[in-house]
Each structure stands twice: as structure tokens, then as C-alpha cells.
Amino acid sequence: MDLLTVEHVSKHFAQHTALDDVSLSIPQGSIYGLLGPNGAGKTTLIRIINRITAPDSGRVIFDGHEIAPADIFNIGYLPEERGLYKKMKVGEQALFFARLKGLSRREATVRLKEWFVRFGIQEWWNKKVEELSKGMAQKVQFIVTVLHEPRLLIFDEPFSGFDPINANLLKEEIMALRDKGATVIFSTHNMSSVEEICDNITLINKSHNILSGPVDEIRRRHGDNLFRIEYLGDEEALRRRLEGQCEVLADTGEEPGRYRTLKIHIADNDVRSVIAAVNDTVELRSFTEIIPGMNDIFIRAVNGSLK
Amino acid sequence: MSQIGIIIEREFNERVRKKSFIITTLLMPLLVVALMVAPSLVMIFATGDTRHVAVIDHSGVIAPSLESGSEVVFEPTDLSVDDARKNLTDIFGVLEIGPDILSNPNDVKLYTNTSSSMLVEDNIRSQIADIIEREKLKKYDIHNLPEILKEVETTVSIQTFRNDGEGDSEAQSSVISTGIGFVLGMVLYMFLIIYGGMVMQSVIEEKNSRVLEVMVSSVKPFDMMMGKILGVAAVAAVQVLIWGVLICGVSALAMPALIPSDIMQNVEAMQQGTLNMAQTDMDMDMLRAIGTATDFGYLATIFVWLLLFIIGGYLLYSALFAAIGSSVDSVQDAQQLQTPVMMPIIFSIIIMMTILNDPNSTLAVWCSYIPFTSPVVMMARIPSGVPVWQIVVSLAILYATFVAAVWFAAKIYRVGIFMYGKKPSFKELWKWVRYKY
């Protein structure tokens, strides 16, 4: 079941095209990575989903119906460029944003107190925002984004400005929200976090959707049939044995744990016979496919060198 | 509560709770009163000095008749001019009167030790003129001359009645109403500039701090802009109401109690048209001024109009200021764009002086219909009496223009809040107005 579907959305501005016939589906209860280089059209797409701007053509389907004004109460959006009123007190400000998202004052107060306790920031309630550090303000903004328990959460570079400890805290909160049933759109340039938390991704480049699908599948699909063998035994014998069966690329050297490793390329996918051959010759400790990282895939996809 | 209501509430609370708001709201009426009282206080203290002037009268006619007063004391001397100038350095100066003063009244010289004073010169000039006049009249040998002179001396004061259509007329002091008109025009000018600027600055701040980016996903840009404009309008209204209550209260309640009761009786008699002019020795202008300043109905009516024009004028201008604020990144960048918006406000203040002198001239009437000048100009005219239908038409045009300005401003605002960096030209702003979303 898809919570959100974008169908053939195009958006043109005076000088350039921001989105050209972009379609994607976001499954309910998943974390969906929206990737792409700067200026690719991600922010425009997010603004269209948020109903900040309207597409020139195409439609956005939310929970089975064309997205309507009332749906913004079911969306929480943390923009990349974000700020708070500097002169306002933290608690009051959080209440203000929560009420704009349709919560009553009483309900918002109860939930805010809970979140403030969970993040250990109760004593900030009466502080002015200008007294907080950037990371502290980001925490408040995160709370404000998720407070009304929206079904769709959109985070644009949520980890910027966080130290590793708080970034991790945030990551866990995002995953917990997903586990509770929320659907998350996650836009970032940090590819390792994409590998860690995204279930699916779409890569937008030059206003087109150039790559979509589950993260694992994409990484596997773009693997180059490279494998790493960890073994104990005679390297020369192994090389001789594998001759003709696969291409030996490099001896990756002696690992600290006294195992030797070898990187190979198997052209015709006959993995089983290679494993058998290795097993015959040396003591096989592990045999792993080398899957490319999202970083690699991103760069190759944008360069146009992805097969 | 609707979103626009939540925004109005925030804008209002943030401003009204500020110390600066509370202080200005309470101190402003005091300042106005102080400004009104200050000139008379200055007069009282400035006349405290007594100047001594030595008089050398070559004609012998003037010196005996010069009367010393609290400001100037005349001291006839037999010294020559040179000696007097050399020796009498601790007095104000030396006055030398020529021998043929009666036929040559310009032969008067004043040597001063410090810079001269208008007050002293005026005193000397009018005394000498009077003495010469009297001396000349004496030549005609008229019997009973002093009695005749006293008999013909006359002062005229005019009682003004405004016909307000119901046959019911009341006396107003035109001096006071011109004064009130001036103050009201200035108040309007200040409100438009200060509150309009406040809206602009606050939009720029929200844009710069990227609060707008967060808000825009929950609130429509139009609601955001209107919420801000109306929230600040509520602040302005509260401020005017407080001032109105304070000033009306002080004028209508406190002043009659402070002014001696015999004066108030005369004021009341005059307002009812039963004052016997021959029987009072009071200054009619002063009576009328007091009458106007303590007329509660008159002041209250003016405050109602003031409120309507301040709100209308503010709404019109703040919409334009909001549009400008949304399209720039800093207050400095806003300066060029706000020039065309400021022009009509400054223009109305410039022509206000002309209009106060003749509140019903063609220029005045036209400028009180044009919505960009009407708030200041109409408020300057109202204390002198303007037909109600004119005020209503002027307000209708003002509020209609506000609606058009909001439509126009909202279009620029929508685009402007997402534009960072380069300061847009007027051509680009016009392009934004025609964008479709």
C-alpha cells in the first residue's frame, strides 16, 4: 500500500525546468530517500508534496485521494533551511507551531512536555531561542515537526548541525516513528545514512527521476560481480586453481587477523563452482560479494556512467 | 482557532508584552502634554531676566516717557556715547536717540554688550513709536486727548459657530482645532511610518531566520501575511485606544476640575451662547480654547475618526511594506524599494501646513480622497470640521484600495519569500505579480 504517489509531475519556472515528468511511489511505513545533486529539483518536489507550490501538470495522490488542503495536518515537514523566532521562548514557540498544525493548546502542551522530557531539555522551556546553540534549536525543530504525529514526515537534511551523539539519537527517533507506522521521506547528501536507514530511494538528477527502488536491490543490481575471498593457505596455488574460472583482480594483502584475502571478478555468475574450487585449494573462511555503496552509485548515476 | 487567528495572536502578544510598547504607550500622552505646556513654561522663565539699558536722549522727548518694565529697565544718563560705551559694560547696552527724533524716527541706535534680544528691541521700538505718535497728536491741540484715545481703543474677537446641520451650533476655537489638526496629521504620519516599517522589518526577519520556510508548510502565504498585518493592526488599535481614553479622560474630567470655577462658568455660558460679552473681562480666545479642549463629545468624535484612519492607512501601507519586506534580504536592500511607498506619506506631511491654513481648499479636498494621502490630510482637516459624507467617502476609498493592495502584495509576497540573494528590480517585482501558482 502506497501512502503517497507522485504521478507525472512537471514544474517549470521562467528560466528553467525544475521537474520533468517525475513519478514515484512511497510505500506506507517505510523510509524513503530522496536523493540528488544540488539544484536537481528535490526541494521543488518536496514543496509540491507540501502544497506550497502547485505542479504545472501531474498529480500527487495522498492516501488514495488527490492531495487536499486538509492533508497538511497529516504532514510534518522539516525544511533544510529552517529557523525559529529568536526572541520567543522555546516552549511558547513550540506551542505556536504545534497549534498551526491543528493541535489544541492543551493537547500540544501535554505532548511537548513528553518530548522535552524524552530529549532531556525540560529546562529549556522558558529560555529564549537566541540562547540556544544551533544543535539545540535543531532538536526543538525536530520535536515541532513530529509533534502532531503526522502520517507523512519529510526531513530535509535532518542531521546537519548535529554532533554524532545527537545525530544518532535523531536517527533512532526517526526509525522509531517509522516502526510506529509513519512514512518518512528523507532527503540528504549523506549516503552512509541512506544505506543505514532508507528502505527505498529515488535519485533525481536534472529534473528527472533517474533511479528508483529498494536500497538493497539497487546496490545488488549495480554490483560488478566482485567478490572477496578470505582464506588460509597458499596464494600461488589458489591463483593457479582459479585461472580460467574467474578474473583475479588483486591480492588485498595480509589481514591483521592472519587471513589472506583476494578480490575476484566472476563474469558468468557461476559463483558456486568458484566457491567449490576455492574450497578445494585453501581453507575458505569467508566468501562475500562486494556491493557498491550508495555514495558510489550516486556519483556514477549522476555522471551517467551507471550501467 | 483558525491559523490566521493563531498568527494574529502571536504577533499581538509578542509586541504588546514588550517593555518598549508599554513605555511608549504610557509616556506618549505625557510627552504630548509636555510639548503643549513647554512653550508657556519657557515664556515664564525666559522673561525672568531684567535688562538694564542706559538712555542718551539728544532730543529730550523720549527718555522721560520711556516706561521700565520687568523685562527692560531704562536708566537715563548724562554720559557721552563714547564714555557710556566704554564704562557701562556690565549692563545690557546703551540706547542713543537722535536730536530730531520726531521728524527722523529712524535715528535710534542701540549698542549692546552681549548679543541683542528681539524682546528688548521690540519693547524699545514700540515704546518709541507710541511716544512719537502721542507727541505728534499733541501738536493738533485736541481737548481731552487722553480720554479720547482711551475711548477709541478697541480689540475685536470673533466667536465662531459651526453649522452642523441640525441647527445646533457650537463654538470652536480655530486656533485649537488647527493645533489639534497638526498633531493628528503628525500622529498619522508617525503611525504609518513606524507601524508600516515594523511590518516590513518583521517580514525581513522571518525570511532571514528561515522561520518562513518552516511556517509555509502549515500556513498559506496569504494567511501568513494577513495574520501579521492584522496582528500589528491590533497593536496599533490598542495603542490609539489607550491614548484616546487617557487624553479624553484628562481633558474632559481632570481639566475642568483644575481650572478655576469662575472661568469654567464663563466657558459653559459661552458654549450655550448665553455669555454676555460686555460683562466679562476674560480673554475670549482663551475661553474658547478651554471650551474646545474640554469638549468631550468633540474629542471623542475625533478619536473615532482617528482610529478608523489610522487603521485604514496602516492597512494600506503595511500591505505594501510587507511586499517589500518579502522581496529583500536586509533592511538596507529595502531602502530603494520603499522610496515610492514613502513618497506619498512625506508629500502629505509637506502639504499639511498649507491645508491647515485653509482646510476646505480644492487641494485639501482632493488629497483627502486620494487613499495614499487621505489618512494624514483628512485627519489634519477633521478638527476644523469636515462634512461627515466626505469622511465616509474618503474611508470607503481607503479601505477599497487596501483590498486591492493586499491582492497585489500577496502575489509579490508568495514569490518573494523564497527568493534569496539578489535584490529584485521593479521590473522583476512586476513579473512576480503575474506569476501563476
In angstroms, how far is the first alpha carbon of chain B from the final one? 27
- Closest chain A C-alpha to B50 CA, distance in angstroms: 57
Contact B218 A54 (CB under 8 A): no
pLDDT, residue B168, reads 45
Contacts of B219 in chain A (CB under 8 A): 100
Q: Is residue B269 part of a domain?
A: no
Q: Does B214 touch chain A (CB under 8 A)?
A: yes
Cβ–Cβ gap A97/B214 under 8 Å: yes
Q: B305 with B422, same domain?
A: yes
Which letter does DSSP use for residue A89 in this model? B
Contacts of A78 in chain B (CB under 8 A): 214
**Coil, strand or helix at B52:** strand
3-state secondary structure of B124: helix
Q: Which of chain B's residues have a Cβ under 8 Å away from the Cβ of A88? A: 14
Q: Is B329 on the interface with A (CB under 8 A)?
A: no
- N residues, chain B: 437
pLDDT tens digits along B238-289: 998 888 888 777 776 766 666 667 777 777 776 666 666 555 656 666 676 6
Do B395 and B331 share a structural domain?
A: yes
Pairwise CA distance, residues B83 & B94, whole Å: 10
Query: pLDDT-based confidence at B107, cuts 50/70/90?
Result: confident
Is residue B270 one of the residues assigned to a domain?
Answer: no
Mean pLDDT of B9-15: 93
| Position B91 confidence tier, pLDDT thresholds 50, 70, 90 | confident
Question: How confident is the model over B59-74, as a mean pLDDT?
Answer: 82
- Phi, psi of B264, rounded to the nearest 5 degrees: -60, -35
Question: A79–B10: do the CB atoms touch at under 8 Å?
Answer: no
What integer pLDDT is reported at residue B173 of this predicted model?
64
* Residue B417 DSSP one-character state: T
Instruction: Tell me whether residues A141 and B214 touch, CB distance under 8 A.
Output: yes
A127 Cβ neighbours under 8 A, 6+ residues apart: A89, A90
Yes or no, beta carbons of B213 and A83 under 8 Å apart = yes
Among A82, A86, A99, the residue with its CB nearest the CB of B213 is A82
Residue B326 cell numbers, joined? 518579502
Closest C-alpha among A188, A196, A190, A195 to residue A219: A195
B5: nearest CA partner in chain A: A100
Q: Is the pLDDT of residue A254 over 70?
A: no
CA distance linking residue B8 with residue B223, whole number of Å: 10
**B102 and B127 share one domain:** yes
Pairwise CA distance, residues B162 & B140, whole Å: 47
Q: Rounded to an integer, what distance in angstroms lies between the CA atom of residue B192 and that of residue B355?
A: 19
Could you tell me the domains of chain A? 2-214 (3.40.50.300), 224-290 (3.30.70.1150)
B192: nearest Cα among B302, B28, B20, B338: B338
Which domain, by its residues, includes B404? 3-39+174-259+294-434
Q: Is the pLDDT at B319 greater than 90, yes or no?
A: yes
CA–CA distance, B436 with A112 (Å, rounded to integer):
38
Q: Dig out the grid coordinates for A130 from the structure.
A: 537566541
B28 and B60, same domain (yes or no)? no
By Cβ distance, the residue of B10, B431, B437 closest to A96 is B10
8 Å CB contact of A52 and B219: no
Mean pLDDT of chain B: 82
Question: Given a cut of 90, is residue B402 above it in pLDDT?
Answer: yes
Q: In this structure, are B197 and B334 located in the same domain?
A: yes
Q: Spell out where B278-394 has E strands.
A: none
Q: Which residues of B touch A50 (CB under 8 A)?
A: 216-217
The last residue of one of the domains, among B118, B151, B184, is: B151
Closest approach of chain B CAs to the CA of A212, in angstroms? 26
| Predicted local confidence at residue B48, as pLDDT | 57
- pLDDT of A10-57, one tens digit each? 998 877 888 999 999 999 999 999 998 888 888 889 989 988 888 889
pLDDT at A91: 92
Instruction: Determine the distance in angstroms separating the CA of A150 from the nearest CA of chain B, rounded to an integer.
Output: 12
Residue ranges with strand state E in B265-306:
none
Instruction: Check if B301 contacts A (Cβ < 8 Å).
Output: no
Residue B44 forms contact with A (CB below 8 Å):
no
Distance, CA of B304 to CA of A126 (rounded, Å): 40
Does residue B160 lie in a domain region? no
CB B135 within 8 A of CB B102: yes
B149-190 pLDDT, tens per residue? 888 878 776 666 655 544 444 555 677 778 888 888 888 998
With 50 as the cut, is the pLDDT of residue A200 above it?
yes
CB distance B214–A79 less than 8 Å?
yes
Is the same domain home to B242 and B108? Answer: no
Closest alpha carbon to B111 in B82, B78, B74? B82
Q: Which of A100, A145, A157 to mutate: most B Cβ within 10 Å?
A: A100
For chain B, the domain total comes to 2
DSSP A128: B
B347, B413: one domain? yes
Query: Comparing B271 with B324, which gets the higher pLDDT?
Result: B324
Mean pLDDT of A235-251: 80
Distance CA A72, CA A51 (A): 8
Chain B stretch 219-278, residues whose beta carbon is closer than 8 A to a beta carbon of chain A: 219
Residue of A nearest to B207 (CA): A83
Taking 80 as the threshold, does the pLDDT of residue A257 lie above it? no
Written as nine digits, the cell of B303 is: 478619536
Q: What is the predicted pLDDT for the residue at B155?
A: 73
Q: Do B210 and A83 touch (CB under 8 A)?
A: yes
Task: Give the 3-state DSSP-derived string for B6-24, with helices as H, strands as E and coil as C.
Answer: HHHHHHHHHHHCCHHHHHH
Q: Note the ipTM here.
A: 0.80
Does pTM top 0.90 for this prediction?
no
The separation between the first and the last C-alpha atoms of chain A, rounded to the nearest angstrom, is 30
d(CA A57, CA A16): 15
The C-alpha cell that represents B253 in the structure block: 474630567
Do B194 and B301 lie in one domain? The reply is yes
Residue type, A93: Q
Cell of residue B280, nine digits = 466679562
Q: Is-contact A188 A39, C-beta < 8 A?
A: no
Residues of chain B contacting residue A86, judged by C-beta atoms under 8 Å apart: 209
Q: What is the mean pLDDT of the segment spanning B312-341?
A: 90
